[in-house]
Structure 1
Amino acid sequence: MDGFVGRASLEWWANHATCLEKYDIDLIVTVDAAGTWRARGQHADALDTTQREGWDFLMEMDPYFSIVFPGEDQGGILVSVVESEDGTLTLTEASDGDDPAPH
């Protein structure tokens, strides 16, 4: 991937068969000369109260999501997500051994 600007999905998987939640995000991905990618974005639509509670719960439990780009069925890239106070999401590709959860 050379870069990406558009809508993607963040999926939180409880295990290999169960996706607990999916969030659409507007995303900008850049890739440097070494192939390291950085991504920043925001929720495509404002989260309602129930969605916000679910999001906050999942983020507190384990901030690792699979990012799925358009045209992919599932699986995507495992990323760590950090949300700033202004709602900006920063995604970092997880390295092997980062994610303690089965999703």
Structure 2
Amino acid sequence: MDRLAGQARLEWWANHSTCLEMYDIDIIVTVDAAGMWRATGRHADALDTPQRAGWDFLMEMDPHFSVAFPGEDRGGIMVKVVEAEDGTLTFTQAPDWNGSGNVTFDLT
């Protein structure tokens, strides 16, 4: 199984040109022998009260974010985010902007 652990950024886009919020995250991505990926993470820094309110609002509206890895200006991988009570974030594949669900992680 391949594994990538590092930092990334979650971006919540209202449309193709308007990013309403960005959140730095620590993320772990694993890819099994069949090419299926799983990802979990946490906010890199604890959210203060206004940030938490904004996060909760966006999650309530639509829990789909794009993920941007270091060196990327804009996230290109769309994920659905689920937050557990302990703050763990779970990311599952979501269709990208054009409806395609094809996601590839290069772990080399």
TM-score in same-fold range (> 0.5) = yes
SS in structure 2 of the partner of residue 14 of structure 1: strand
Q: C-alpha distance in 2, partners of 1:97/1:71?
A: 23
Q: How far apart are residue 4 of structure 1 and its match? A: 1.7
Gap regions ≥5 residues in structure 1: 99-103
Unaligned runs of 5+ in 2: 102-108
Letter in 1 for 2:57: F
Q: Distance in 2 between matches of 1:3 and 1:30?
A: 4
Residue type at the aligned position of 2:89: L
Shift of 1:97: 7.3
Extract structure 1 runs of 4+ deviating beyond 6 A: none
> Percent identity of the aligned residues?
73
Comparing both chains, which one has the higher relative contact order based on Cα–Cα distances under 8 Å and sequence gaps of 6 or more? 1
Deviations 1:16-36 (A, max 9, x none): 000000000001000011211
Aligned 8 A contact 1:69 1:76 in 2:
no
Aligned length: 97
Q: Secondary structure at the match of 2:57?
A: helix
Q: TM-score, normalising length from structure 1?
A: 0.88
Normalised by the size of structure 2, how large is the TM-score?
0.84
